[in-house]
Amino acid sequence: MFKEFREFAMRGNVVDLAVGVIIGAAFGKIVDSLVKDVIMPPIGYLLGSVDFSNLFLVLKEGAKAAGPYETLKMAQEAGAVTINAGLFINSVVSFMIVAFSVFLLIRTLNRLKRAEAPAPTEVTTKACSYCFSAIDIKATRCPCCTSTLN
C-alpha cells in the first residue's frame, strides 16, 4: 500500500499540483500585501482618509468595554459583534487582482499553444475512387487496380 501511495504521489500531475498550490499561496500573500499596503491606502485617502481595514459596523457592543470603538481591533478586544465591511472590500479587491492575474496567465498559455500548433501538412496522397487504396496525388492510374483516374 505504501508503494502504491508513493507511486501516486510521485506522478507528475500530483507534484505539479503541489507546486502550484505552494506558489499560489505565496502569490496570495503578495496580492494581500499589495491590496492592504499599496492600493487601498491611496483610495482611502482620496475618499477622505478612510482606512478600509477599520471600516466596520457594530451590531452589539462588547461586554468588556462600551463603544464607540475607534478601530476594529479595539472592538474585537472588547468582544463587540461587528460586520467587517472594510476587510470584505479588501478581500474582494485581492480576489479581483488574483483572478485577473490568472486570466492573463491562462490567456498567454492559450496563445502559446495556438502558436505552437503544427502547420497543416501538405496532402501527398489521394484515395482511388474504385478500390479506395492510397495513391500518390500526381498519379493518373491506380497501381493496385490499374483504373484510370481523373
Instruction: Tell me if 142 sits within 8 A of 128, measured CB to CB.
Output: yes
* pLDDT tens string 123-138: 888 898 888 899 888 8
* pLDDT tens string 8-33: 767 767 777 788 888 888 888 888 88
* pLDDT tens string 42-77: 887 887 777 777 888 888 888 888 878 888 888 888
Domain boundaries, the chain: 2-121, 122-150
Does the structural domain 2-121 have CATH classification 1.10.1200.120?
yes
Phi, psi of 59 (to 5 degrees): -90, -40
Instruction: Tell me if 35 sits within 8 A of 52, measured CB to CB.
Output: no
Detail the DSSP E strand segments found in 1-150.
57-60, 81-83, 125-127, 134-136
